[in-house]
Amino acid sequence: MKLILFLLLLGLPLLYAAILYNALVNLKHQVSKCWANINVLLKQRHDELPKLVEVCRQYAQFEQATLIKVMEARAAISEAARAGNIGRLGELEGGLSDLLGRLFAVAEAYPELKTDQQFFHLAQRITQLEENIADRRELYNEAVNINNVRVEQFPDVFVARLCGFRSATPLRFAGAETRDVGLKALFQR
C-alpha cells in the first residue's frame, strides 16, 4: 500500500509536468504557424510589388524616387523576414505601408495610369493583401501573448525554464503606421 501511495505521489507531479510540457509545445507551434501565415502573405505582396512598380514605370513621367524607395523597402523587409527579426520587420512594414500610400497618391496625378487595368488589378490585390496581413498580425500577436503568459505564469514557468521555452516577440508597428494619415500631405506634389 505504501509503495502504491509513493508511486502515486511521484507519478502525479510527473504527469502534471508532462501535461504542462505538451501545452507549451502546442503554444510554441501555434506561434510558429501564425508567423508562417504572415510570411506567406508577405511573400505574395512582395511578389506583386515589382509588377506594380513596372506598370508605373511605363508611364515615363512617374515619380521614379517613389518607385526606388518601394523596391528598397521590399528588399529590406525580405531580409528581415529571412533573418527572423520580427522587431525590424515591424518597423519596415510600417514604412512600406506609408510608401504604398504615397505611391497610390502619386498615381492619382496620372489619369492614364489610374485607368490602366493592370495597375487597377495590382493595386486592388496589394490592398487586399495589406488587409489580410493586418488580420494575420492580430492572430500572431494573440498567439504570442498566450504563449508569453504561459511561459511566465506559475507553475508553467518551471517547466518552461527547464525545457528551454522562451517568450516570443510580438509584431509591433512602426510609429508611422499608428499615426493618422495626413491625406493633404499625400496629395501635394
pLDDT for the residue numbered 58: 75
Domain map (residue ranges) of the chain = 24-187
pLDDT for the residue numbered 183: 43
User: Distance of CA 74 to CAs 89, 94, 97, 106, 143, Å?
Assistant: 11, 12, 11, 19, 26
pLDDT for the residue numbered 176: 47
Give yes or no for a contact between 126 and 45, defined as CB atoms under 8 angstroms apart: yes
pLDDT for the residue numbered 185: 47
pTM for this predicted structure: 0.71
Q: Burial, 77: exposed, middle or buried (Cβ in 10 Å; 0-12, 13-18, 19+)?
A: buried
pLDDT for the residue numbered 179: 46
Q: What does the DSSP 8-state code read for residue 182?
A: -
Cα 51 versus chain centre, distance: 22
pLDDT for the residue numbered 189: 40
Those residues of the chain that have pLDDT short of 50 are: 176-189
CATH class label, 24-187? mainly alpha
